[in-house]
Structure 1
Amino acid sequence: MKKRFYSKEFKSEAVRLSYQRENIKELADELGVKVDRIYRWRKLDSEDGVSKKASKPPSSQIDNQEVKELRKALKDAQLELEILKKAVHIFSKSDGKSINS
């Protein structure tokens, strides 16, 4: 069997993806490499002091940003609903009355 060699770019991309994905086995299957090889690349990468894991924002930071966005969307939706309720109230008052009279 022929020994396979992987480029530095391939290895670094595999390491980066391994930190983004939860299931490394699936990633290894997609890339056509063994799982232990990805773990070995990760170890070598962290020993070099160029760990990609540090560049990934913590999940709590992502969650906080998402909460802020959802709160803003909720506030906008509540404001829109309030405006529509007022409009319905105004138009329901003028029911039965002619605009020209």
Structure 2
Amino acid sequence: MAVELCQTQQNRPKKEIAQELGITDNMLNRWVREHDKYGDNSFAGQGRPVMTDKEKELAQLRKELRETQIERDILKKAVSIFSKGDSRNTNS
């Protein structure tokens, strides 16, 4: 409703509208930007940002990359530990 108010009363400053609604003008500007970017998909709720399909895919790929990098680092450490153990047994 705040975004609709800004759209219908474009001659009024957003800062004035925000004060009237009891919110900061930064918050109102963010809501207007989100509505402009996502339209009816805006304001999904529960603090989760609205993402396009490409943004969702990118987020999923980044998550998989982080997990893969962690697994790689663990395997490198394991190989290093076992390699040191083998060299001790062969020199006895």
TM-score by length of 1: 0.42
Which is bigger in relative contact order (C-alpha 8 A, separation at least 6)?
1
- The structure with the larger Rg is 1
